[in-house]
Amino acid sequence: MKQAKMTPSTTAVPSRRKFLKDSVALMGGLVIGFYLPMKSGRALAEAGLEPPKPQVYPPNAFIRIAADDTITVVVNKSEMGQGVYTSLPMLVAEELEADWNRIRVESAPVAQVYNHTTFGMQITGGSSSIPSSWEQLRRVGASARILLIRAAAAQWGVPEAECHAENSRVIHAASGRSVGFGAVADAAAKLELPKEVTLKSPKDFKLIGKPIKRLDTPEKITGRAQFGLDVYIPDMLTVLVARSPVFGGKVKRFDATEAKKVPGVQGVYQVPTGVAVAATGFWPAKTARELLEIEWEEGPGASISTAKMREDYRALAKTPGLTARKEGDAAAALKGAQKVISAEYEVPYLAHAAMEPLNVVVDLKADACTIWTGTQSQTLDHAMAAKTAGLKPEQVKIHTTYLGGGFGRRANPVSDFVIEAVQVAKVIGKPMKLVWTREDDTRGGHYRPMWADHIEAAIGADGKPTAWKHTIVGQSIAAGTPFEPFMIKDGIDAMSVEGAAHLPYRIPNLEVGLHSPKNQVPVQWWRSVGHSHTAFVVETMMDELAHLAGQDPVQYRLSLLEPSSRYAGVLKLAAEKAGWGKTVLPAGHAYGVAVHLSFDSYVAEVAEVSVDNGKVRVHKVVCAVDCGMVVNPDGVRQQVEGGVVYGLAAALHGEITLEQGRVMQSNFHDYIALRFSEMPKVEVHILPSEAPPTGIGEPGTPPIAPAVANAVFKLTGKRLRSMPFDRITLA
């Protein structure tokens, strides 16, 4: 097979000192290391894994300045579309006073220095890349600037305080001298890191807050961007695995006689997750896999039916669960109430369905393992790969490629796709790329959990809520993963009740309970995690209460919010920009509204909706966002647009169902994504703020489903209490 592309491997360097020396000698560069106190591998230790040893890892480096003034920012977050290869370098460049046009980006290797500043491991998720890097990367940039100025000042024999940096040059204004960063980088690299740095005042920002074009666009419009699936290494085989049709099933016996006859097939092997077919390319591997005859030991997963689960969940939702929140006495208040609403909600399992199906390239040798994959979770994947390969952590390298979408799936809490790939590589004994077909990806589990909710709520004579009793039923995402010790307290998985346990509205008697049933279907975080269902439930119920009280949904919410709160801020802004109560909409169109806090950001959305022949159509969505200070406003707009689309696809169409343990959907013909003609116009209004930046990758998603559902009620009088909406008869 001819080779398509080779990813050059980075050279392992045993220590920061040696790396500094090498980088000076080889590249004439400056390397700035930056340490923060870490929680250091607690999750790994809890998982029974050895925490990484920093001394044998590559150096802690975020910036390299070459002699030609090119500045490479090493980014420790995975680029999956959310724009971190642009926004994180902006933080560095702002304080470095770098020439933005000469910034390059490189993905970080796995090393402790690249750990997330609050999660204590290298991971991209939780809409946290900007908030967690905001201080760190500006300090990195400022430290480098100070050293460059110091080095130039020493060369000129002038006081450091008389020099400043601008556009990748150090300038001594008094004498009119200036020098490019590249020319003083060597000297700067030999200086001690400054102990204290002062960061710019926001009024002096040159890049932060400006709409900056993405640095990855040129590669992504020419086909040059390398995703995991685009990695080809010498003598690499392509492997497809036939996995059990039922979660938890095992191979009983198999016959590969016909499969092995397919030209190009190099071998068929039993592996822990099924039967692996190795071939010279994708097509022979896929052709051969279809010819395998496999008998499975299906196990208890074969009895799973989501229709049955729905009944069980609904029944469970009417029984008391573990208490996640209790204020006042909701039961007593409900008993005495005149106006009560009781409602049941259900939302299905959802696949992430990123455009790039999962894939991993593994080059496994006796004493080394090199992995190329688009992962969001380097530290855990690295540790799990080492454990699976039976190698020391320092013998394993992961190259993070571009991710063709992540949405949470590529931060698998149990490293499913990486462990499997290493297991298969061990059996095959050759360099290989394990490819998941779209069908494998859709049926491979690790879904957004299916949830059922029950709410009883009451209002008083003034229309204000007096009681709210909410019970949630759904699998815990953290249970059985290394995240369990941090995320589950007293049996409550924080992700199951987020967005429900802490309501912004004044409700004197509030009770939120949780049931976390278990089954064989693996579940995982999916863009906005628990909020993807709690916002739907809470915000449609608030709409019902407003209706019961005979009040306008926006005014009703505002009357229950702190007037100066950021909730109220975005709600008012969205209503104002949409012309809530003023805009005359076309006949058959109506507005619906929802507001929700997730990942420390506040988002309100007003959706303009019509129902045509029973089909919900969303024409326009007006979003108001308060995510603190904004680094790249165009990036924020992209993320909110994307969040709306992702949430809308799920609200209208998304559904994974199981019968006899088998996933009923397989590809985009039956697991429906939003297509071009269904795309609403999306307006994004950003509330000016001086608060530190908060998340933006996910917060656009939660409000869209309830905003649309509330508009549908206005149009049809029918309450949408389950998703997807296209399963509900509206005609």
Partner 1 sequence: MPQYTLNVNRKDHVVDVAADTPLLWVLRETLGLTGTKYGCGMAQCGACTVHLDGRAIRSCVTPVSMAVGKQVTTIEGLAETHLGKTVQGAWQEVDVPQCGYCQSGQIMAATALLKENPSPSEAQIAAAMEGILCRCGTYNRIRSAIQTAAEDLKGGAK
Residues that bind partner 1 (CB under 8 A): 1-5, 79-83, 213-214, 216-227, 229-230, 232, 238, 263-264, 281-284, 286-287, 353-357, 402-407, 437-438, 634, 638, 641-646, 649, 667-669, 673-677, 679, 681-682
CB of 191 to partner 1, least distance (A): 38
The single residue listed with the structure tokens 């010819």 is 291
**Are residues 371 and 241 in contact, defined by beta-carbon separation less than 8 angstroms?**
no
CB of 353 to partner 1, least distance (A): 6
Q: What is the CA radius of gyration of the chain?
A: 27
Cβ-based nearer residue to partner 1, 73 or 435: 435
CB of 178 to partner 1, least distance (A): 32
**181-189 and 16-27 helices cross at what angle (nearest 10)?**
150
CB of 650 to partner 1, least distance (A): 11
Cβ-based nearer residue to partner 1, 676 or 731: 676
d(CA 295, CA 289): 14
Cβ-based nearer residue to partner 1, 395 or 638: 638
Residue 376 burial by Cβ neighbours in a 10 Å radius (0-12, 13-18, 19+) = buried
CB of 125 to partner 1, least distance (A): 15
Cβ-based nearer residue to partner 1, 402 or 505: 402
| Cα distances (angstroms) measured from residue 184 to each of 67, 227, 490, 531, 576 | 8, 36, 56, 50, 53
CB of 258 to partner 1, least distance (A): 15
Cβ-based nearer residue to partner 1, 434 or 558: 434
CB of 402 to partner 1, least distance (A): 7
Cβ-based nearer residue to partner 1, 186 or 356: 356
- Tokens representing 538 are 């809470």
Q: Quick one: which of 508, 606, 626, 513 has its CA closest to 565?
A: 626
Cβ-based nearer residue to partner 1, 90 or 396: 90
| Cα distances (angstroms) measured from residue 554 to each of 539, 570, 571, 703 | 11, 11, 7, 14
Cβ-based nearer residue to partner 1, 82 or 168: 82
CB of 726 to partner 1, least distance (A): 17
Q: Quick one: which of 662, 220, 670, 237 has its CA closest to 435?
A: 237
The single residue listed with the structure tokens 């939120």 is 512
Residue 433 burial by Cβ neighbours in a 10 Å radius (0-12, 13-18, 19+) = buried
d(CA 437, CA 443): 10
d(CA 41, CA 443): 32
Cβ-based nearer residue to partner 1, 238 or 475: 238
- Tokens representing 265 are 């097939």
d(CA 553, CA 551): 6
CB of 576 to partner 1, least distance (A): 22
Task: Establish whether the linkage from the previous residue to 272 is cis, with ω within 30° of 0.
Answer: no
